[in-house]
Every structure is written in structure tokens, then in C-alpha cells.
Amino acid sequence: MILNKTTKQNTTIYFFSIMNWHRKSHSIPGFNYNSYSNLAHRHVEKHERLTLPNNQKNEGEHGKIRLLISKIENAHVLDSSGSYNIITDIFRHEDSSSTLQNDVTLVSQTSSNNLDDVIALSERWDGAISISVFTHFTDFQFTMDKLLHLHVCFPKIQNRVHFHLVYPLNNDIPLDKLKQNFVNSNCEISMKTFHNQNYEIEGIEYPHNLLRNTAVKFCKTSYVFLIDIDMLPNKYLRKEFNMFVQSFKNDSVVFVVPSFESKDDAAIPIDRTQLLRNWRLKKIRPFYFDVCRKCQRPTDYDQWQYLPDPSHLNVAYFVQRDDAYEPFYIAKKDFPLYDERFKQYGYNRISQVCEMNIAGYNFGVLNNAFLIHKGFKYRDSFHKNKEIENNRNRDLFQQFKRELRTKYPNSKRSC
């Protein structure tokens, strides 16, 4: 590996070139090579937005690329099906001192398309965040560029976010895709972005549930809060939940966080008061209001809307699951994981909530907690194969329910 440095005014770009290969192709899964020279030490000049002054050497920064390359070289962790390679925690977590075991980690998953959403998440959530990132052979270079950019240029991401990579085992990803991989120390320069539609990445199936499970398994806290990458929680939810859960001792309860969607031009509320005001102004509505109203109906938004002003976080009321219910919730980390056979669109979360119900969990709605999705969702905004995928997963869901009867023979609950 050769380290080349190009300087122009206040912008310093470091290019990492992988050279002198002894084999014609090097694929990520299981490859082993010893014929390249070691990466030279590098001293990154931090942009003034970061914690280090400009031109000060960061002794810990020089090993980040070496660590990443080493993890890719030695990536031998496979998912349960043997179809995907998994690289966990691709950057060493910089500061975990503020995260306690009896705490809650924000958990999500994404493709490279939506990695920019991590910036807002790290600003809104002041604790640990675990995110699985799905990539593939034509996307790998961009994913690495983007992750390095986010990690170097945003201290809160560097301090809080654990990234995990997942990619298909049958995708040959040559290491020369990492040629001229760079970190740009002028963090004001925007990264290029992709415009691929979700679920339609080069014809490769998107494994939602594998990604969710991967992100959950590597959390160090007792509780996890699984959300979509393009959602934001109310600002002080982590702090209030940590105080609340100290006195709430019932491990069979999962804590439903009501979810909403906001108009593109509306400010994202930070608390319940702002949310209710925007709701009255019709700038906010319940999540999936147009797409699948029954998927969130059991949360009972009317009851939640007219709750007395809460003085502290608590369970306001309990709700019964129905066939299509797919709430977002906080749960103990040992909850039933997601069935990884569900890919693409349809039933990937419904199936897990179904199992939670049969396993004996109860759904308690929190009074002073919420999630916001930026932008209204509409039925015609989904990709063209949505219905085909939904029908296929519906058949799988029927099989899944039969399997649950065997898995929980003594349960009196149905799904």
C-alpha cells in the first residue's frame, strides 16, 4: 500500500492505493495476501470543525485505514444461512464512557443511499448507536468513502456510532475497489450521493432482518431501540427512559414509541408540545397514515393525543396486537430476534411482532416519547416490485406462523 498526499489550499486529501498484487483478483471473502507493503503512518490535519486544532497531528488517526483493511482481509464471519459476510464494528469506538450497561442503544440499518441520515441521528441521540450497513460489489467503494468521511468529519458519529458491514458472500469485491480511497480533511466538502431506489440495488435482495439482528447482537446495553434510519426520536428520550426504567421491573413489556411522519417543510419537533401543535396544524400525522393505516392503528393515536401533559416518562396504556401491527419499540436486548428469511418488502417487522405476542410480551405505549419520519409517505412512492415481494413474503409469513405453534406449544396466544 502506498500513501499519497495531495494538498491544495486548506484541503488535504489522502489517497490510499493498493498496489503490487501477486494475484490477478482478490475477493473479500476469505482472501489472504502478504505481498503488499505496509500502510505508511499518516497524520491527519483536522478541520477546525473537529475537536483537534488545524495542523495538529492526531496520533490515533493513522491506524484507522489499516484497521479497516485488516478487518476486510480477515472477514470470515458469516450469517446463519452462510450467504452473507459480516464485518462488525469497522471502526474502534472512540468513547463509550457515557454508555452504561443498563442503558438503551439506538439500532438501525441502511444501505449506502441513506448514510447521511446518521448525522442527524447522532445529533439527536446522545448515547450509543449501532447501525448495520448493506453493501455489494459495485457499491463497496462508495460505502467505504462515505463511512470514512462520516467517521472523520463528525465527532459525535466518531464517538457514538458502531458501524457493521454486511454484503453477499457470492459477490466478488476486489480489493482494488479501495484504490484511492480517501479521507477529506476539509469536512465542508460534500460527498457524492447515490440515487438508487431502496430495495432495488443492482437486483440484490435487501436483507432487512439480518441487518437488524447484526446491529442488535453487538449492542452492549441492556435495552435496544430499533428504528428506521430516516427517523428521529424526541430529543431527551434516552435520558428520560433511563430514569423511568430504573423503577419499572417487568421484562415482559416492550415499550411502544408512537411514530409519526412530518411534512418536508415542517420543523422536526423536539418535544411532545411541539409535536401536538404541528399535528393540529396538519403538518404531522401518524406514521403510514396513507400507506398502511392498520399497521399502526393499535397504538391508538387518539388516546395518546389527549393524554394529560406528562411530568415524566411512563407507560400510558397497554394495547393488543392485531394482524398487521408493526410498532417501533424499546425492548430488552434478549427479545426474540427477527427471522432472516424475510427480505425486501413485506412482513419483515410484522413477523417479529407476531412472535413477540406469542412469546408472551405485552405492548405498553409510552406517554412522552415519539418518532418522526421526515416527509409524508404515499402508496405510490414505493418501488415497482413492492407487491410481488409482499405477496411472496405473505406466503412465508403463513409458514412462519405454523412454525411458531411448534416453537411455543404452550402459548395461548394466536398470531
Residues near 369 by beta carbon (within 8 Å), at least 6 away in sequence: 233, 234, 237, 240, 241, 255, 257, 258, 313
Rounded-to-integer distance, Cα 216 and Cα 105, Å: 9
Q: Is 329 helix (H, G, I), strand (E, B) or coil?
A: strand
pLDDT at residue number 211: 97
The three grid cell numbers given for residue 401, joined into one nine-digit string:
406462523
In residues, how long is the chain? 415
pLDDT at residue number 137: 81
Rounded-to-integer distance, Cα 227 and Cα 257, Å: 10
Domain extents in the chain: 2-212, 233-407
The three grid cell numbers given for residue 300, joined into one nine-digit string:
391508538
Which among 375, 31, 400, 6 is positioned nearest to 185, based on CA atoms?
Answer: 6
Rounded-to-integer distance, Cα 340 and Cα 81, Å: 9
Residues near 160 by beta carbon (within 8 Å), at least 6 away in sequence: 95, 122, 125, 126, 127, 128, 129
Answer whether 339's CB lies under 8 Å from 211's CB.
no
Instruction: Judge residue 397's burial from the number of C-beta atoms within 10 Å of its C-beta, 0-12 exposed, 13-18 middle, 19 or more buried.
Output: buried
Instruction: Judge residue 164's burial from the number of C-beta atoms within 10 Å of its C-beta, 0-12 exposed, 13-18 middle, 19 or more buried.
Output: buried
HEC states along 268-325? CCCCHHHHHHHHHCCCEEECCCCCCHHHCHHHCHHHHHCCCCCCCCCEEEEECCCCCC
Digitized pLDDT (tens) for each residue of the chain, 415 residues in all: 333 333 333 333 333 332 222 323 333 333 232 322 222 222 223 323 333 333 333 444 445 666 676 777 676 677 777 889 898 898 865 555 456 668 999 999 999 989 999 999 999 999 999 999 999 888 888 888 888 889 888 999 999 999 999 998 876 665 655 644 544 445 766 654 444 444 455 578 899 999 999 999 999 999 999 999 999 999 999 999 999 999 998 999 999 999 999 999 999 999 999 999 999 999 999 998 898 889 899 999 999 999 999 999 999 999 999 888 999 999 999 999 999 998 887 788 999 999 999 999 999 999 999 999 999 988 765 556 666 777 788 888 899 999 999 999 999 998 8
The residue assigned the cell 421484562 is 251
pLDDT at residue number 265: 92
pTM metric for this prediction: 0.80
The residue assigned the cell 417487522 is 349
